[in-house]
Amino acid sequence: MGVTRLNKPTNRKRRWPLIAVLLASASISIAGLGSATWVKSSEQVAAEARPPDPSIISAPVEKRVLRETVSFRGTVTPGRTVEVSPVAPDSVQKLVVSAPPPRSGQRIRPGDVVAVISGRPVIALRGSVPAYRDLKNGYKGADVEQLQQGLREAGYSVADSTGVYGASTQAAVKQLFIDKDFEPALEAADALESPNGPHTTGTRKPIGPRKVVVLRSSEVVFVPEFPARVLEVKATLGSEVKGTLLRLATGELVVTGSLQPSDRRLVKAGSQAKIASPASGTPIKASVRSIGPYSVPEPTSPEGSEEQTEPQQEPGHPITVRSLKPLSTRLTGQEVQVSIDGTPTDGPVLVVPASAIYAAADGSTQVIKMAPDGRQTRVTVTTGATGTGYVEISGTGLAEGDQVVVGAK
């Protein structure tokens, strides 16, 4: 009888289920590990969302000259104006413009006729004091001396003693009028004169009437500086003159304006400045000539009108700024922007950035001093001038080079 042989399972077949179980366990473990990595608790999420701890920003305590730019709008005006206001002599009943007046902007030089009123000229000569009397033969005084100097500058020789209106000065006046196509005013001299002249002693004898040259105050206008320019003409040919006929601009052009009281302490005479206008293109270097006391300009009334107009200048400290180079006459009357380098301190002072200053609960002003190791100390200070983002400080506990807290980031 035959024997049936049964085949035994091999080891290879028994291993496969075990391997599958191991692989499944490994997969589950890896999945769990991954989920543990990506899933976060609410506390962890909040912790990661918090901003990082702020870092302190500090700045050094310095010594420097504080500067601050002060700006205002000003108007280009002549350094000085001279008004020509003719006065009628006894022989004239009405003042009338009898020749074409000069045009606005016209240049006036020594000896020029600036107007003809009722047939008589008004001649410009150099001088700072207006004519206040008619000058006659033998008159003496500072006004005569001013006339003599003006005649010489206009090209006429004068040999009289200084301040004496004698024959030589009269001859110069006569020639000036003749050169301008006018006859000088004449007046009869004393009927009796010394044979050696009116200022000597001796036997006097009648020599008959003699004419001497008189300079009427209405026929001369003294101008401080030349060349001058006609700034404004208020009458036309044939019109009657009442009050001011014209205004002359003399001297260099300057910029005038008003400085606010809060800026007054920053600016002083001599401070550097810049003048800017569309016409000039590039800023023009200048300096502050003068600063006046606080004032409130009064409204003005146009001539012949009862209506008042608003003052052109704002309340404040009147300020005059002078260009280092002559300004173009084209700028006369124009508005310009003026920037001044303000210096609220006379020299270097202890300063900190303005952001370092704070008011404490007790009302004091303090800064926070930071030591090299990061320790912070509150220091009470007294503040002074400000400029360009810095504040002057004084008090104990701070020195140049110390660090103060100005913020955090």
One DSSP character per residue, 17-77 reads HHHHHHHHHHHHHHHHHHHHHH---HHHHHHHHSPPPP-EEEEE-EEE---EEEEEEEEEE
pLDDT at 7 over 70: no
Is the pLDDT at 164 greater than 50? The verdict is: yes
Is 322 found in the same domain as 387? Answer: no
- More confident: 300 or 231: 231
139 lies in the same domain as 215: yes
* Whether 335 and 380 share a structural domain: no
pLDDT of residue 32: 52
Would you place residue 319 in the very low, low, confident or very high pLDDT band (cuts 50, 70, 90)? Answer: very high
Confidence of residue 237 (pLDDT cuts 50, 70, 90): very high
Alpha-carbon span 125 to 113, nearest angstrom? 10
- Percentage of the chain with pLDDT > 90? 53
Q: What is the mean pLDDT of residues 108-129?
A: 95
Same domain, 326 and 254: yes
User: CATH code at 255?
Assistant: 2.40.30.170
Q: How sure is the predictor about 329, in pLDDT bands with cuts at 50, 70 and 90?
A: confident
- Which residues have a Cβ under 8 Å from the Cβ of 330 and sit 6 or more positions away? 279
Q: Domain count of the chain?
A: 3
For position 266, what pLDDT does the model report?
84
> Mean pLDDT over residues 286-302, rounded?
81
Whether residues 264 and 319 share a domain: the answer is yes
Q: What is the mean pLDDT of residues 17-34?
A: 55
The pLDDT of 76-99, averaged and rounded, is: 88
For residue 68, list its beta bridge partners. 342
Q: Is the pLDDT of residue 328 over 90?
A: no
Lowest mean pLDDT among 291-295, 306-310, 353-357: 306-310
CA distance 401 to 60: 5
Rounded Cα gap, residues 72 and 273, in angstroms: 11
d(CA 234, CA 81): 15
Does some domain include residue 5? no
Domain assignment present for 276: yes
Q: CB count, 10 Å around CB of 153?
A: 15
| Nearest in space to 108 (alpha carbons), one of 147, 69, 82, 72 | 82
Domain end (from 222, 240, 267): 222
Q: What are phi and psi of 15, to 5 degrees?
A: -80, -25
Give residue 389's pLDDT: 86
Mean pLDDT of 328-352: 86
217 with 292, same domain: the answer is no
Domain of 175 in residue numbering reads as: 111-222
Query: Taking 50 as the threshold, does the pLDDT of residue 298 lie above it?
Result: yes
pTM of the model: 0.59
pLDDT at residue 130 greater than cutoff 70: yes
Lowest mean pLDDT among 224-233, 308-317, 337-346: 308-317
Confidence of residue 322 (pLDDT cuts 50, 70, 90): very high
Among 343, 340, 386, smallest CA distance to 71 is for: 340
